[in-house]
């Protein structure tokens, strides 16, 4: 998921989960602002909103493209922001 979620979409997902749908969401994180027009801050916010709603959310860290986003500082930034968002799972 790359777009920005809103409260209505979160409520829809939560309702489906509460009705028994085995729902898991994947949110793509890359920290490649030069290559992606969408940025990444809203993705961390999406994760935070999903986690707060009780919807399982996995950060999908990709693509990893040396030398652009494989530096220790960039990887550290990603995991720090994931922690702040409450995300506990990443692939």
- pTM for the model stands at 0.91
Lowest mean pLDDT among 30-39, 54-63, 79-88: 30-39
Name the band, by pLDDT with cuts 50, 70 and 90, for residue 1. low
Name the band, by pLDDT with cuts 50, 70 and 90, for residue 50. very high
84-88 long-range Cβ contacts below 8 angstroms, 24+ apart: 84/44, 84/48, 85/44, 85/45, 85/47, 85/48, 85/51, 86/47, 86/48, 86/51, 86/52, 87/27, 87/47, 87/48, 87/51, 87/57, 87/58, 87/59, 88/51
């Amino acid at each position: 998921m790359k777009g920005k979620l809103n409260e209505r979409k979160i409520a829809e997902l939560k309702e489906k989960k509460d009705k028994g749908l085995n729902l898991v969401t994947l949110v793509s994180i890359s920290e490649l602002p030069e290559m992606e027009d969408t940025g990444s801050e809203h993705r961390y916010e999406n994760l935070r909103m999903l986690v707060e709603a009780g919807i399982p959310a996995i950060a999908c860290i990709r693509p990893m493209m040396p030398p652009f986003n494989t530096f220790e500082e960039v990887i550290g930034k990603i995991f720090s922001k994931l922690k702040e968002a409450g995300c506990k799972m990443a692939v």
